[in-house]
Amino acid sequence: MKSIVLLKNKRRDRRAKSIRRRIAATASRPRLSVHRTTKHISAQVIDDVTGHTLCAVSTTSKKLADLLNGKTKSQKAAVIGGEIARMAKDKNVTEVVLDRGYSRYHGRVKALAEAAREAGLSL
């Protein structure tokens, strides 16, 4: 009998691969990859053509500690979304493709995406 945790992880990996297969990222429209854990959230803009990460930010970042202190996880995700949009615009990236991985477009992932849109990033 297989462990329930192993089955959940297998389903999660299959879901993430299915989503990544449908994403068409180009050099002019890189991928905004969002990774969510129970405690933190991170986002990075990846150019799949060259395989390089253009910019990345996370709730574990020391420079954002003052901004994130005392906020809920959804509010922290919104701060991360605004910050990743600002960093991407500094690298002359205005359009990205959202890669939500295995996560649903709900809650913290949605808050991050909406904050990035409000900061001027086109998803």
pLDDT at 29 (0 to 100): 92
Summarised one tens digit per residue, pLDDT across range 53-88 is 999 999 999 999 999 999 999 999 999 999 999 999
Domain enclosing residue 17, as ranges: 4-118
- With respect to residue 87, please indicate whether it lies within any of the assigned structural domains: yes
pTM summary value: 0.89
Q: What is the CATH number of the domain that holds 62?
A: 3.30.420.100
Show Cβ contacts of residue 44 under 8 Å, excluding neighbours closer than 6 positions: 32, 33, 53, 54, 55, 56, 57, 84
Domains identified in the chain, total number: 1
- With respect to residue 15, please indicate whether it lies within any of the assigned structural domains: yes
Percent share of the chain, pLDDT over 90: 83
- Return d(Cα 121, Cα 42) in angstroms, integer: 17
pLDDT at 27 (0 to 100): 78
Q: Which residue has the higher pLDDT, 109 or 49?
A: 109
